Structures are given as C-alpha cells and as structure tokens.
Amino acid sequence: MANNPMLSRFLALGFCLAAPVLGLLIFSSPLPEPSGKHGVSGVYAVDSLDLQCRPGQAVELFPVDTDGDDIPDEGRWPLWADDMVDTARVQCGEELVFSINREGETPDSAAAVLFLGCEDAMGTGFVNIEVHAWCEGEIAASCLTYVGVFDNFLICGHELDSFSVEGRIIREDGLPIEGVEVSLSGPRPGFALTDAQGHYHFSDPNVGDDITITPEKNFDYTEGVSTQDLVLISRHILGVDRLGSPYQLIAADVNNSRHVTTLDLIMLRRLLLGIDIEFETNTSWRFVELDYTFPDPSNPWHERFPEWINVNDLPFVGAADLDFVAVKIGDVSLD
C-alpha cells in the first residue's frame, strides 16, 4: 500500500479465522447513510460486519507542481481510504481492502486514495466521502463521513509563480524614512528606495526563493544631530538621566563599541565641529527588524540585533511585510 507522509497511517485488517467456515449474510441498505456504520445490499462471504468512519476530519491543501517547472500550480491533499476508517470488524478470509470515493460515485476497489483540491475548498468547503470495505473482491461494508477542505495558504485562485516583497522603514517614533536603499539578495537580486512614506517594494521574487532584505543609508552624517544630543548622552553617562530605549542606546553608541562612553561624545563633537565628515567605525544609520524583541532593552548589544531579514522558501502567494526601525546614529533626541 502506498506510503502517505501527510497523515498517520494505520491498516485495519480483517479477522482471519483459523479454520474458516464462512457464513452468508444478506444486507438490505443499498447506499451509505449519514455518519456511522452501514451495510450494503448483496450476498457476501463474511461472518460479521462493523465498519465505522472517522467523523468530520479537516485537511489543509498544500501546493503541488504538476508540470515539473518547480513552480506550484495548484493545491491538493491526498485522502487515503484506510486513514478514514475508525473501526473495522469484518471477518474475512483474506486481508480487507478499503476504497474511497465521493458520495454518489461508483465504488472501485482500486481507489485507495482520493485527491482533494481547490474545487473542494472554493466550493462549500466540505466533501461527503464514502469508504468501502472489500472482501474477496466484493463490498462487505461501507460508511459515510465528510471532510472539511481548507486553503489556509491561499493557493487557490491565485498566480503561484510570483511573490511580492515589501515593507516599511520608520523611526521608533513612527516617522517614515525616505531614501533608504534596500537590497534584495537571492536568485533574483534587486534594489529599491523607500518613498516618502518609508515604503519599498519588490515584485520579482518567485515562490520558493530564499532571500535576504538589507536596508542601508550611509550619508548625511550630521542629519538630526545637535548639541542637545551631546547633552542627553552626557547625562546618560553620568547616570543623571538614562536613555530610555534600546534604539536611543544604539544611536548613542557613535563609535560602535557596544557601550556608551565619553569616546562617543568626543566623536560626535568632532562631527558637529566639522573636523570629521563621517564616523570612522560606524554608519550614518542603523536598522533593526521591526518585530525583533531585545532580550535586555537596557543592553541592546546583549546579542547581535538583526539588521537584515532572511526569508527562506517564500510562501505561495501574497506579500511579505518586512519592516525595519531606522536609527540615526548620534540622534538620541529624535529632533
């Protein structure tokens, strides 16, 4: 029997008799009835009958590449007959065989699996299923159940060959940052600039790509920096008034030493006096993944904070919202 990695597999076997003396049973119900164990019309070589379907199962469609081009074409789920059997007590002279079909279709002993697809999920979302137990080539028992089919990945009714990657870059106070160069690395690399609302957008990646998004803005070192920032950093160092957020601490670490010290004040003062036009050991802006939570907000360097976002195996449809918090080095006052 085919191996099904999606569902737990179990095999209900007929009870083989040590010295089989099979009787004849006549059943009078020609079709499955709603939920439960049922017989079917005919005269079969069985001793007893008890077939119960598993009630109300739910399945989730997964993408399938039907034409071999490595791009998903549709959603499917293989529903195996013996996975839908709850109990089966049909004494038979050989191993029982289970088949599965949609309600009203002609049973076939070779139909061990039924493929559910988008037409099921986009319809009512529920499919009535018949399961038949076969003994020596004849139907010995049957039961009726139903399955809920869900398209949680939004595979159905969409183009699956492309994927949109977009995001927004803002300061910690919500102010959007324009002119950030965002690079996309992966099979289809590209660059984008954030607009006045801080948005960027890529439409080239394919489903299944592994990508990395990295923002950068490394000019206008004096932007937003003033003597007020010198005062705030000095008060923090003296312990008079501590900087209150991990983003402010990153901004105050001008020399990128992972600490805030008087060396940061010296470097920032040199910038304001025009002695230096850039930071020798740091960039003008730093970026932190918006969804990142600092383990210790009072020490943002406790671990390396993510300045890029990796996405492996891009989802099937839709858009990935990959947002960042922008930190202007030296600007702790956000003025």
Paired tokens of 239: 């312990």
Check pLDDT > 50 for residue 26.
Answer: no
- Take residue 249 and report the two structure tokens written for it: 């601490």
**pLDDT at residue 298 greater than cutoff 70:** yes
The tokens for 165 are 């990657």
Quote the distance between the C-alpha of residue 172 and its chain's center: 27
pLDDT tens for each residue of 79-129: 999 999 988 776 777 788 999 999 999 999 999 999 999 999 988 899 999
| Bigger pLDDT: 13 vs 311 | 311
**pLDDT tens, residue by residue, 195-252:** 999 999 987 777 778 899 999 999 999 999 999 999 999 999 999 999 999 999 999 9
Amino acid letter, 146: Y
Residue 39 has a pLDDT of: 42
- What was the pLDDT predicted at 153? 74
Q: How far, in Å, CA of 59 to CA of 81, rounded?
A: 14
Residue ranges of domains in the chain, CATH in brackets: 24-150 (2.60.40), 164-328 (no CATH)
Q: Are strands 57-60 and 138-150 parallel, antiparallel or unpaired?
A: parallel
Quick one: pLDDT at residue 173? 96
Q: Which two tokens stand for residue 305?
A: 């904070």
* Dmax (CA) of the chain: 105
Mean of all residue pLDDT scores within the chain: 82
Predicted confidence at residue 194, as pLDDT, reads: 97
Q: What are phi and psi of 166, to 5 degrees?
A: -150, 170
In 106-239, where does DSSP find H-type helix? 118-121, 227-238
Contact 138, 291 (CB under 8 A): no
Span 34-71, pLDDT tens digits: 444 444 333 334 444 678 999 888 999 988 877 776 66
Share of the chain above pLDDT 90, in %: 59
